[in-house]
Amino acid sequence: MTKRGRIYCRCVQTSFRVMQAFFPTRGVHVLPDVETLADLLGELGIHRVLIITDPRVQACKTLREALVSKGIGYTVYEQTKFDDASFRMEYACRLYLDCACEGIIGLGDTLTLDYAEEIGARVADWKGILKRNLLMVAIPTTAEGRDRTEQGIGWHRDDTLRPRLAVLNAEYLAIQSPSSAIFIEMDVLSHMIEEYIARTITAEHRAEIERTVPLIFENLEEYYRHPEGMTAGKSVPRSTQPTRAFSAKAHSGYIHAMAHSLASVYRLPHGFYAAMLLPHVLTAYGTKIEKKLHRLGVRSEVALESDRHREGARTFISAIKGMNARMGIPRTLSELQMAEIPALASRAAKEANPMYAAPILFDALDLEQIYRKICMK
Protein backbone atom coordinates (compact mmCIF):
# COMPACT_ATOMS: atom_id res chain seq x y z
CA MET A 1 0.00 0.00 0.00
CA THR A 2 1.24 3.50 -0.81
CA LYS A 3 2.21 5.94 1.90
CA ARG A 4 -0.73 8.19 1.00
CA GLY A 5 -3.09 5.20 1.28
CA ARG A 6 -1.74 4.26 4.72
CA ILE A 7 -2.13 7.82 6.01
CA TYR A 8 -5.70 7.99 4.71
CA CYS A 9 -6.66 4.66 6.34
CA ARG A 10 -5.16 5.57 9.70
CA CYS A 11 -6.89 8.97 9.69
CA VAL A 12 -10.26 7.36 8.98
CA GLN A 13 -9.72 4.77 11.74
CA THR A 14 -8.74 7.43 14.26
CA SER A 15 -11.75 9.58 13.35
CA PHE A 16 -14.06 6.60 13.71
CA ARG A 17 -12.76 5.82 17.21
CA VAL A 18 -13.32 9.43 18.25
CA MET A 19 -16.85 9.47 16.81
CA GLN A 20 -17.75 6.27 18.68
CA ALA A 21 -17.32 8.14 21.95
CA PHE A 22 -20.00 10.66 20.93
CA PHE A 23 -22.31 8.37 18.94
CA PRO A 24 -22.73 5.10 20.84
CA THR A 25 -23.75 1.96 19.01
CA ARG A 26 -27.49 1.55 18.52
CA GLY A 27 -28.85 -1.64 20.03
CA VAL A 28 -31.03 -4.20 18.31
CA HIS A 29 -34.61 -4.85 19.41
CA VAL A 30 -35.03 -8.63 19.75
CA LEU A 31 -38.38 -10.25 18.97
CA PRO A 32 -39.40 -13.84 19.83
CA ASP A 33 -41.01 -14.87 16.53
CA VAL A 34 -42.10 -13.69 13.09
CA GLU A 35 -45.70 -13.21 14.24
CA THR A 36 -44.53 -10.57 16.71
CA LEU A 37 -42.43 -9.01 13.96
CA ALA A 38 -45.46 -8.78 11.66
CA ASP A 39 -47.47 -7.12 14.44
CA LEU A 40 -44.73 -4.53 14.99
CA LEU A 41 -44.30 -3.80 11.28
CA GLY A 42 -48.05 -3.22 11.08
CA GLU A 43 -47.90 -0.78 13.99
CA LEU A 44 -45.03 1.05 12.26
CA GLY A 45 -47.17 1.48 9.17
CA ILE A 46 -45.02 -0.72 6.95
CA HIS A 47 -46.98 -1.89 3.89
CA ARG A 48 -44.39 -3.92 1.98
CA VAL A 49 -40.93 -5.38 2.61
CA LEU A 50 -38.18 -7.01 0.56
CA ILE A 51 -37.19 -10.44 1.88
CA ILE A 52 -33.59 -11.45 1.14
CA THR A 53 -33.24 -15.20 1.67
CA ASP A 54 -32.07 -18.52 0.26
CA PRO A 55 -34.45 -21.01 -1.41
CA ARG A 56 -33.36 -23.69 1.08
CA VAL A 57 -34.61 -21.74 4.11
CA GLN A 58 -37.82 -23.35 5.34
CA ALA A 59 -38.66 -20.54 7.76
CA CYS A 60 -39.44 -18.24 4.83
CA LYS A 61 -42.90 -19.82 4.46
CA THR A 62 -43.69 -19.04 8.11
CA LEU A 63 -42.55 -15.45 7.63
CA ARG A 64 -44.64 -14.95 4.50
CA GLU A 65 -47.76 -16.32 6.22
CA ALA A 66 -47.23 -14.01 9.21
CA LEU A 67 -46.86 -10.95 6.97
CA VAL A 68 -49.95 -11.80 4.91
CA SER A 69 -52.01 -12.27 8.07
CA LYS A 70 -51.29 -8.63 8.97
CA GLY A 71 -51.92 -7.28 5.49
CA ILE A 72 -48.24 -6.62 4.79
CA GLY A 73 -47.03 -7.31 1.27
CA TYR A 74 -43.66 -8.79 0.45
CA THR A 75 -41.26 -9.36 -2.43
CA VAL A 76 -38.84 -12.28 -2.17
CA TYR A 77 -35.29 -12.20 -3.56
CA GLU A 78 -33.43 -15.53 -3.37
CA GLN A 79 -30.41 -15.06 -5.63
CA THR A 80 -27.97 -14.50 -2.77
CA LYS A 81 -24.74 -15.18 -4.60
CA PHE A 82 -21.81 -12.79 -4.93
CA ASP A 83 -20.79 -14.01 -8.38
CA ASP A 84 -21.75 -11.28 -10.83
CA ALA A 85 -22.69 -9.45 -7.61
CA SER A 86 -23.06 -5.98 -9.12
CA PHE A 87 -25.74 -7.12 -11.58
CA ARG A 88 -27.63 -9.19 -8.98
CA MET A 89 -27.60 -6.45 -6.35
CA GLU A 90 -28.69 -3.82 -8.84
CA TYR A 91 -31.64 -6.07 -9.72
CA ALA A 92 -32.51 -6.45 -6.01
CA CYS A 93 -32.37 -2.68 -5.54
CA ARG A 94 -34.69 -2.25 -8.51
CA LEU A 95 -37.11 -4.70 -6.91
CA TYR A 96 -37.05 -2.66 -3.70
CA LEU A 97 -37.81 0.60 -5.49
CA ASP A 98 -40.23 -0.70 -8.14
CA CYS A 99 -42.28 -2.63 -5.56
CA ALA A 100 -42.35 0.36 -3.18
CA CYS A 101 -40.80 -1.61 -0.32
CA GLU A 102 -40.27 0.13 2.99
CA GLY A 103 -37.80 -2.20 4.67
CA ILE A 104 -35.50 -5.18 4.16
CA ILE A 105 -35.67 -8.51 6.00
CA GLY A 106 -32.59 -10.73 5.84
CA LEU A 107 -33.50 -14.38 6.50
CA GLY A 108 -30.78 -17.03 6.39
CA ASP A 109 -27.15 -17.72 7.21
CA THR A 110 -24.44 -15.12 7.76
CA LEU A 111 -23.78 -14.80 4.03
CA THR A 112 -27.45 -14.05 3.36
CA LEU A 113 -27.51 -11.43 6.14
CA ASP A 114 -24.35 -9.89 4.73
CA TYR A 115 -25.96 -9.78 1.29
CA ALA A 116 -29.08 -8.13 2.71
CA GLU A 117 -27.04 -5.40 4.36
CA GLU A 118 -25.06 -4.76 1.17
CA ILE A 119 -28.33 -4.34 -0.73
CA GLY A 120 -29.57 -2.04 2.05
CA ALA A 121 -26.49 0.13 1.66
CA ARG A 122 -27.08 0.47 -2.06
CA VAL A 123 -30.78 1.22 -1.62
CA ALA A 124 -29.95 3.97 0.88
CA ASP A 125 -27.48 5.48 -1.57
CA TRP A 126 -29.98 5.33 -4.43
CA LYS A 127 -32.74 6.92 -2.34
CA GLY A 128 -30.39 9.52 -0.87
CA ILE A 129 -31.24 8.69 2.75
CA LEU A 130 -29.08 7.99 5.77
CA LYS A 131 -28.27 4.28 6.10
CA ARG A 132 -29.26 4.30 9.76
CA ASN A 133 -32.78 5.39 8.75
CA LEU A 134 -33.37 2.34 6.54
CA LEU A 135 -35.42 -0.37 8.26
CA MET A 136 -33.28 -3.52 8.43
CA VAL A 137 -34.50 -6.76 10.05
CA ALA A 138 -32.29 -9.82 10.68
CA ILE A 139 -33.63 -13.36 11.11
CA PRO A 140 -30.58 -15.64 11.44
CA THR A 141 -30.86 -19.36 10.79
CA THR A 142 -27.41 -20.35 12.11
CA ALA A 143 -25.89 -20.22 15.59
CA GLU A 144 -23.13 -17.87 14.40
CA GLY A 145 -25.65 -15.48 12.89
CA ARG A 146 -27.74 -15.58 16.05
CA ASP A 147 -24.77 -14.67 18.26
CA ARG A 148 -23.71 -11.71 16.16
CA THR A 149 -27.22 -10.41 15.70
CA GLU A 150 -27.90 -10.68 19.43
CA GLN A 151 -24.89 -8.47 20.10
CA GLY A 152 -26.11 -5.86 17.59
CA ILE A 153 -23.22 -6.50 15.23
CA GLY A 154 -23.76 -5.96 11.52
CA TRP A 155 -21.77 -7.59 8.72
CA HIS A 156 -21.53 -4.56 6.48
CA ARG A 157 -18.37 -2.49 6.91
CA ASP A 158 -20.54 0.60 7.51
CA ASP A 159 -21.55 0.22 11.17
CA THR A 160 -24.48 2.61 10.74
CA LEU A 161 -26.22 -0.10 8.69
CA ARG A 162 -27.12 -2.41 11.58
CA PRO A 163 -30.39 -4.32 11.93
CA ARG A 164 -32.88 -2.40 14.06
CA LEU A 165 -35.04 -5.48 14.62
CA ALA A 166 -34.12 -9.14 14.95
CA VAL A 167 -36.06 -12.36 15.39
CA LEU A 168 -34.10 -14.87 17.46
CA ASN A 169 -35.93 -18.16 17.70
CA ALA A 170 -34.29 -21.57 18.12
CA GLU A 171 -36.96 -23.12 15.88
CA TYR A 172 -35.53 -21.24 12.91
CA LEU A 173 -31.98 -22.48 13.52
CA ALA A 174 -30.65 -25.27 11.39
CA ILE A 175 -29.11 -28.12 13.42
CA GLN A 176 -25.36 -27.56 13.43
CA SER A 177 -23.06 -30.45 12.59
CA PRO A 178 -19.88 -31.03 14.67
CA SER A 179 -17.79 -29.60 11.83
CA SER A 180 -19.94 -26.46 11.68
CA ALA A 181 -19.49 -25.99 15.42
CA ILE A 182 -15.72 -26.24 15.00
CA PHE A 183 -15.78 -23.61 12.26
CA ILE A 184 -17.75 -21.27 14.53
CA GLU A 185 -15.14 -21.63 17.27
CA MET A 186 -12.26 -21.08 14.85
CA ASP A 187 -14.07 -17.93 13.75
CA VAL A 188 -14.12 -16.91 17.42
CA LEU A 189 -10.39 -17.60 17.73
CA SER A 190 -9.52 -15.59 14.63
CA HIS A 191 -11.70 -12.68 15.78
CA MET A 192 -9.92 -12.61 19.13
CA ILE A 193 -6.45 -12.77 17.62
CA GLU A 194 -7.30 -9.98 15.19
CA GLU A 195 -8.58 -7.89 18.08
CA TYR A 196 -5.46 -8.67 20.11
CA ILE A 197 -3.03 -7.54 17.41
CA ALA A 198 -5.11 -4.55 16.27
CA ARG A 199 -3.99 -0.99 16.95
CA THR A 200 -7.26 -0.29 18.80
CA ILE A 201 -6.92 -2.96 21.51
CA THR A 202 -7.82 -1.83 25.03
CA ALA A 203 -6.40 -3.16 28.29
CA GLU A 204 -9.78 -4.69 29.16
CA HIS A 205 -10.03 -6.55 25.88
CA ARG A 206 -6.41 -7.67 26.08
CA ALA A 207 -6.97 -9.25 29.48
CA GLU A 208 -10.20 -10.92 28.32
CA ILE A 209 -8.52 -12.43 25.27
CA GLU A 210 -5.58 -13.69 27.32
CA ARG A 211 -8.06 -15.49 29.58
CA THR A 212 -10.24 -16.99 26.86
CA VAL A 213 -7.95 -17.96 23.96
CA PRO A 214 -6.33 -20.68 26.12
CA LEU A 215 -9.81 -22.19 26.62
CA ILE A 216 -10.11 -22.77 22.89
CA PHE A 217 -6.69 -24.43 22.70
CA GLU A 218 -7.52 -26.52 25.73
CA ASN A 219 -11.02 -27.68 24.81
CA LEU A 220 -11.76 -27.38 21.10
CA GLU A 221 -9.97 -30.51 19.90
CA GLU A 222 -11.55 -32.54 22.68
CA TYR A 223 -14.94 -31.30 21.56
CA TYR A 224 -14.05 -32.19 17.96
CA ARG A 225 -13.36 -35.76 19.04
CA HIS A 226 -16.35 -36.02 21.42
CA PRO A 227 -19.19 -33.73 20.27
CA GLU A 228 -21.87 -35.50 22.29
CA GLY A 229 -24.70 -33.41 23.68
CA MET A 230 -24.86 -30.95 20.80
CA THR A 231 -28.30 -29.53 20.03
CA ALA A 232 -29.67 -26.98 17.61
CA GLY A 233 -28.32 -23.53 18.38
CA LYS A 234 -26.11 -24.89 21.19
CA SER A 235 -23.25 -26.18 19.13
CA VAL A 236 -20.17 -24.93 20.93
CA PRO A 237 -18.15 -26.37 23.79
CA ARG A 238 -19.44 -25.24 27.16
CA SER A 239 -15.99 -24.08 28.20
CA THR A 240 -15.76 -21.62 25.31
CA GLN A 241 -19.30 -20.27 25.28
CA PRO A 242 -18.29 -17.08 27.18
CA THR A 243 -15.94 -16.18 24.33
CA ARG A 244 -18.68 -16.00 21.72
CA ALA A 245 -20.36 -12.89 23.05
CA PHE A 246 -17.01 -11.16 23.30
CA SER A 247 -15.94 -12.19 19.81
CA ALA A 248 -19.02 -10.53 18.37
CA LYS A 249 -17.77 -7.21 19.78
CA ALA A 250 -14.22 -7.67 18.51
CA HIS A 251 -12.83 -5.82 15.52
CA SER A 252 -12.30 -7.64 12.25
CA GLY A 253 -9.21 -7.57 10.08
CA TYR A 254 -7.86 -8.94 6.83
CA ILE A 255 -8.49 -12.54 7.90
CA HIS A 256 -12.21 -11.93 7.98
CA ALA A 257 -12.27 -9.70 4.92
CA MET A 258 -10.54 -12.43 2.91
CA ALA A 259 -12.75 -15.14 4.42
CA HIS A 260 -15.90 -13.18 3.56
CA SER A 261 -14.70 -12.86 -0.03
CA LEU A 262 -14.11 -16.61 -0.32
CA ALA A 263 -17.40 -17.52 1.38
CA SER A 264 -19.30 -15.31 -1.04
CA VAL A 265 -18.10 -17.44 -3.96
CA TYR A 266 -17.73 -20.98 -2.63
CA ARG A 267 -20.53 -21.02 -0.01
CA LEU A 268 -18.62 -23.03 2.59
CA PRO A 269 -18.85 -21.83 6.23
CA HIS A 270 -17.12 -18.53 6.89
CA GLY A 271 -15.27 -20.05 9.87
CA PHE A 272 -13.71 -22.68 7.61
CA TYR A 273 -11.99 -20.00 5.55
CA ALA A 274 -11.06 -17.96 8.63
CA ALA A 275 -9.31 -21.01 10.12
CA MET A 276 -7.48 -21.73 6.86
CA LEU A 277 -6.34 -18.12 6.40
CA LEU A 278 -5.42 -17.44 10.04
CA PRO A 279 -1.82 -18.80 10.00
CA HIS A 280 -1.12 -17.36 6.54
CA VAL A 281 -2.19 -13.82 7.44
CA LEU A 282 -0.41 -13.89 10.81
CA THR A 283 2.77 -14.93 9.02
CA ALA A 284 2.34 -12.09 6.51
CA TYR A 285 2.24 -9.52 9.33
CA GLY A 286 5.82 -10.53 10.20
CA THR A 287 7.79 -8.94 13.01
CA LYS A 288 5.10 -6.34 13.77
CA ILE A 289 3.07 -8.81 15.85
CA GLU A 290 5.71 -11.24 17.15
CA LYS A 291 5.66 -9.96 20.72
CA LYS A 292 1.87 -10.20 20.99
CA LEU A 293 1.70 -13.66 19.44
CA HIS A 294 4.44 -14.83 21.78
CA ARG A 295 2.42 -13.59 24.74
CA LEU A 296 -0.67 -15.44 23.52
CA GLY A 297 1.43 -18.56 22.99
CA VAL A 298 2.67 -18.41 26.57
CA ARG A 299 -0.86 -17.91 27.93
CA SER A 300 -2.05 -20.87 25.83
CA GLU A 301 0.87 -23.02 27.05
CA VAL A 302 2.18 -23.71 23.57
CA ALA A 303 5.25 -21.44 23.90
CA LEU A 304 7.75 -20.75 26.67
CA GLU A 305 8.26 -17.44 28.47
CA SER A 306 12.01 -17.82 27.86
CA ASP A 307 11.56 -18.04 24.08
CA ARG A 308 12.53 -15.10 21.95
CA HIS A 309 9.54 -13.23 20.54
CA ARG A 310 10.13 -14.50 16.99
CA GLU A 311 10.46 -18.08 18.15
CA GLY A 312 7.40 -17.82 20.40
CA ALA A 313 5.30 -16.28 17.58
CA ARG A 314 6.30 -19.04 15.18
CA THR A 315 5.47 -21.66 17.79
CA PHE A 316 2.02 -20.12 18.29
CA ILE A 317 1.34 -20.07 14.54
CA SER A 318 2.55 -23.67 14.28
CA ALA A 319 0.14 -24.63 17.07
CA ILE A 320 -2.73 -23.17 15.06
CA LYS A 321 -1.60 -25.07 11.96
CA GLY A 322 -1.38 -28.29 13.97
CA MET A 323 -4.84 -27.79 15.46
CA ASN A 324 -6.27 -27.14 12.00
CA ALA A 325 -4.67 -30.29 10.63
CA ARG A 326 -5.91 -32.49 13.45
CA MET A 327 -9.45 -31.20 12.92
CA GLY A 328 -9.37 -31.77 9.16
CA ILE A 329 -9.04 -28.13 8.09
CA PRO A 330 -6.73 -28.02 5.02
CA ARG A 331 -3.95 -25.52 4.43
CA THR A 332 -4.96 -24.89 0.82
CA LEU A 333 -8.23 -24.61 -1.10
CA SER A 334 -8.41 -26.98 -4.04
CA GLU A 335 -11.38 -25.14 -5.63
CA LEU A 336 -9.55 -21.81 -5.77
CA GLN A 337 -8.24 -20.88 -9.22
CA MET A 338 -5.45 -18.40 -9.89
CA ALA A 339 -7.67 -16.47 -12.31
CA GLU A 340 -10.17 -15.75 -9.52
CA ILE A 341 -7.64 -14.28 -7.10
CA PRO A 342 -7.56 -10.64 -8.34
CA ALA A 343 -11.34 -10.26 -7.95
CA LEU A 344 -11.31 -11.91 -4.52
CA ALA A 345 -8.44 -9.70 -3.34
CA SER A 346 -10.11 -6.56 -4.66
CA ARG A 347 -13.33 -7.38 -2.81
CA ALA A 348 -11.48 -8.14 0.43
CA ALA A 349 -9.44 -4.93 0.22
CA LYS A 350 -12.60 -2.92 -0.37
CA GLU A 351 -14.17 -4.37 2.77
CA ALA A 352 -11.12 -3.94 5.00
CA ASN A 353 -9.82 -0.55 3.91
CA PRO A 354 -9.97 2.02 5.34
CA MET A 355 -11.94 0.86 8.42
CA TYR A 356 -10.09 -2.21 9.76
CA ALA A 357 -7.29 -1.16 12.13
CA ALA A 358 -4.88 -3.97 11.30
CA PRO A 359 -1.26 -3.78 12.54
CA ILE A 360 -0.05 -3.57 8.93
CA LEU A 361 -2.16 -2.26 6.06
CA PHE A 362 -2.46 -4.34 2.90
CA ASP A 363 -3.81 -3.38 -0.48
CA ALA A 364 -5.33 -5.72 -3.07
CA LEU A 365 -1.93 -6.68 -4.47
CA ASP A 366 -0.71 -7.69 -1.00
CA LEU A 367 -3.83 -9.79 -0.44
CA GLU A 368 -3.33 -11.49 -3.79
CA GLN A 369 -0.02 -12.83 -2.50
CA ILE A 370 -1.75 -14.40 0.51
CA TYR A 371 -4.50 -15.90 -1.64
CA ARG A 372 -1.86 -17.50 -3.83
CA LYS A 373 -0.47 -19.33 -0.79
CA ILE A 374 -3.77 -21.12 -0.18
CA CYS A 375 -4.15 -21.73 -3.92
CA MET A 376 -0.92 -23.73 -4.19
CA LYS A 377 -1.79 -27.35 -4.93
pLDDT digits (tens, 9 = 90+) for 20-76: 666 555 567 889 999 999 999 999 999 999 999 887 777 788 999 999 999 999 999
Residue 273 lies in a domain: yes
Give 3-state DSSP helix, strand, coil % of the chain, rounded to 5: 60, 5, 30
Predicted confidence at residue 307, as pLDDT, reads 95
Residue 248 has what pLDDT? Answer: 41
Look up the domain containing 108 and give its range: 29-172
The answer to the question of residue 41 being in a domain is: yes
Q: Are residues 190 and 335 in the same domain?
A: yes
pTM of the predicted model as reported, rounded to 2 decimal places: 0.70
Do 187 and 141 have their domain in common? no
User: Are residues 159 and 251 part of one domain?
Assistant: no
> 168-190 burial, b if ≥16 CB within 10 A, otherwise e?
bbeebbbebebbbbbbbbbbbbb
**Is residue 21 included in any domain, yes or no?**
no
Within 10 angstroms of residue 57's Cβ, the number of other Cβ atoms is 21
172, 204, 220 - which closes a domain: 172
165 and 183 housed in the same domain: no
Q: Can you give the pLDDT of all 377 residues of the chain as single tens digits?
A: 888 888 888 888 788 777 666 655 556 788 999 999 999 999 999 999 999 988 777 778 899 999 999 999 999 998 776 554 566 778 889 999 999 999 999 998 877 888 888 888 888 888 877 666 788 999 988 766 776 676 555 445 455 566 778 888 877 766 556 666 788 788 888 988 998 998 877 788 888 889 889 988 988 888 888 776 444 344 444 444 434 444 444 467 899 899 988 987 886 778 899 999 999 999 999 999 999 999 999 999 999 999 999 999 999 999 999 999 999 999 999 889 999 999 999 999 998 898 888 999 999 999 999 999 998 75
> Which of helix, strand or coil describes residue 137?
strand
Picking from 172, 191, 211, the residue at the C-terminal end of a domain is 172
Whichever domain contains 344, its CATH number is 1.20.1090.10
Q: Are residues 160 and 202 in the same domain?
A: no
Q: Are residues 142 and 206 in the same domain?
A: no
Q: Are residues 261 and 285 in the same domain?
A: yes
Q: How far, in Å, are 58, 229, 232, 241 from residue 181 at the CA level?
A: 21, 12, 10, 11
* Shared-domain flag, residues 84 and 156: yes
3-state secondary structure of 104: strand
Please give the tally of structural domains in the chain.
2
> ω before 269 within 30° of 0 (cis)?
no
Domain assignment of residue 16, yes or no: no
Q: Are residues 254 and 348 in the same domain?
A: yes
142 and 190 co-located in one domain: no
Residue 147 lies inside a defined structural domain of this protein = yes
Q: How far is residue 138's CA from residue 150's CA, in Å, rounded to a whole number?
A: 10
Instruction: Compute and round to an integer the Cα radius of gyration of the chain.
Output: 21
104-108 β-sheet, strand order: 29-31, 165-167, 136-140, 104-108, 48-52, 73-77
CATH of the domain at 159: 3.40.50.1970
143 located within any domain: yes
Identify whether residues 325 and 353 lie together within a single domain: yes
In a domain, 344, yes or no: yes
Instruction: Give the domain-ending residue among 140, 172, 204.
Output: 172
Looking at the structure, tell me whether residues 128 and 258 fall in a common domain.
Answer: no
* Position 142 in a domain: yes
Dist CA 71 CA 62 (whole Å): 15
